[in-house]
Amino acid sequence: MSTIQDRLKPIVALCKRRGFVYPGSEIYGGFANTYSFGPYGAELKKNIKDLWWKMFVHERRDMVGLDGPILLHPKVWAASGHVEGFNDALIDCKSCKGRFRADHLIENALKLDADGMSLPQMTDIIRSKVKCPKCGASDFTEARHFNLMFQTQMSKTSADGDVAYLRPETAQAIFVDFKNIIDTMRVRIPFGVAQIGKAFRNEITPGNFVFRVIEFEQMEIEYFIKESAWEATFDRWLQSMHEWCRAIGLKESRIHEKEHPKEQLSHYSKRTVDLVYDFPFGRSELYGLAYRTDFDLKRHAEYSGQTIEYTDPETREKFVPHVIEPTFGVERTLLALLCDAYEEQQLDNGETRTVLHFAPRIAPIKVAIFPLMKKEPLSEKAQKIFAELKRFWYCEYDESGQIGKRYRRQDELGTPFCITVDFDTLENDTVTLRDRDTMQQIRVPCSQLLEVLSEKLK
């Protein structure tokens, strides 16, 4: 059974064909569940991260950034609860040796929510009611816990033994540096710390393309507040997350809120709401918003033996701040954007045109510039326009092949505008400006190109 549903297949194929996403280590036959982001995928990811940083750090007065290490002291993960509790329930089919997440087996086969079930409960249900999705047998092992953290070895000389973990979330680096930040920055509660970086999880059943991978990037915010402010702050952040989805151009009708029932909350959370997106393979978590209370800072104070407190500058009251955490996955954002933007359009002439309708601010290439033919002085003029525009936007120059094919290629890359230098340009110094979505072309004087594009690319 393929985990990639039919509607995802053409998107995966386009990603490979057009240089967005390649399978990891492909020349060695691939390395399961790893991916490489090709030139346009790298641009897309960068645009996502830059826009996120601009919106949540640069445009606000209550936020600062951090770039913490991937390898943190092993005690961090004991304090955070990850060593003990960052587990998924794993179960194996004895017949075909297929390995599954027990909760996913129950949810997929029986449409039952397995969150909060104990291991023996899951084992009983699966053994009595579920067949192996790979081979159809009903012969399962007991369900057991599996820790999702990747371990690595440090040099033997390190004081605390030689095990280190690749961080499974970026959040902890922020808590570990909370004291440094309040000592060195002029931050006043309420304030937040934002971080973008890699996280690693040894997922039991990764899949659905880049939706669930073992190495991914998170964009996380820890927003520090007084306890009394948690409900209002939570609501404001939920709205800000919706605003972000609008800013990157995701269709609002495909985004929904999923409240976690109280009995299924993580050990640190008092309230969690996921933003879920209608992916081609079903409605699944895109982002999360959690009220983490003062759990993390208190635990780090306890495990490190340090005082981690904030002093109110007016009242001199000392307290441990509470935390609201909005968290965003970069790869899931990229996948949602691709699914949202992808369209196969039937044209009047019977052809099919594949387009990515990216919002201009997210599109990898903003403008493509072509001479009608690879011929002087058309090429020279087009290169001059390219040189001018690339000072402002990421542009592409292309002079090879038929013009129609060049347009189709840019449609598949999601480039909002194409400029063509033709023979009229030589007469009257105007070019054609083609709109990706309408395919309409207008003539624009070269002297007005910058102004017209600035308006359209806002």
Enumerate binding residues for ligand ATP (CB under 6 A). Answer: 169, 201, 203, 212-213, 216, 218, 285, 287-288, 327, 329, 331-332
The nearest distance, CB 211 to ligand ATP, in angstroms, is: 6
DSSP alpha helix (H) spans, 222-329 = 230-247, 295-304
In whole angstroms, the minimum distance from the beta carbon of 201 to ligand ATP comes to 5
Task: Give burial (CB, 10 Å; 0-12/13-18/19+) of 55.
Answer: middle
In this complex, which beta carbon is closest to ligand ATP, that of residue 87 or of residue 383?
87
Compute the least distance from the CB of residue 150 to ligand ATP, in Å.
Answer: 12
- CA atoms of 144 and 102, how far apart (whole Å): 9
Closest distance of CB 200 from ligand ATP, Å: 9
| Cβ at position 287, least distance to ligand ATP in Å | 5
Kindly report each contact of residues 56-64 with a partner whose C-beta sits within 8 Å and lies 24 or more positions away, as own/partner: 56/192, 56/194, 56/219, 56/221, 56/240, 56/244, 57/194, 62/190, 62/191, 62/192, 63/191, 63/192, 63/193, 63/194, 63/221, 64/181, 64/185, 64/187, 64/191, 64/192, 64/193, 64/194
Q: How far is the CB of 370 from ligand ATP (least distance, A)?
A: 37
Nearer to ligand ATP, 47 or 170 (CB): 170
Nearest to 142 by CA among 102, 186, 172: 102
Of 10, 119, 134, 77, nearest to 303 by C-alpha is 77
> Does 371 sit behind a cis peptide bond, omega within 30 degrees of 0 on the bond before it?
no
CA dist., res. 280 & res. 7, Å (int): 6
If the CB atoms of residues 332 and 406 are measured against ligand ATP, the closer one turns out to be 332
Q: Which is nearer to ligand ATP, 180 or 264 (CB)?
A: 264
Q: How far apart are CA 346 and CA 85, in angstroms?
A: 51
Alpha-carbon distances of 154 from 86, 197, 266, rounded to whole Å: 21, 21, 30
Tokens of 331: 């790869």
Q: Which residue is nearest to ligand ATP (CB)?
A: 329
Q: Which is nearer to ligand ATP, 88 or 399 (CB)?
A: 88
Token pair listed for 394: 């990421």
**Minimum distance, C-beta of residue 274 to ligand ATP, in the bound complex (Å):** 7
The distance in angstroms from the start CA to the end CA of the chain is 44
> In terms of CB distance, is 273 or 355 closer to ligand ATP?
273
Sheet with strand 144-147: strands edge to edge? 99-101, 87-92, 144-147
Residue closer to ligand ATP by CB (options 210, 365) is: 210
Identity of the residue, 205 or 379, whose beta carbon is nearer to ligand ATP in the bound complex:
205
User: Closer to ligand ATP at the Cβ: 213 or 362?
Assistant: 213
The least CB distance from residue 66 to ligand ATP, in Å, is 17
Least distance from C-beta 431 to ligand ATP, angstroms? 41
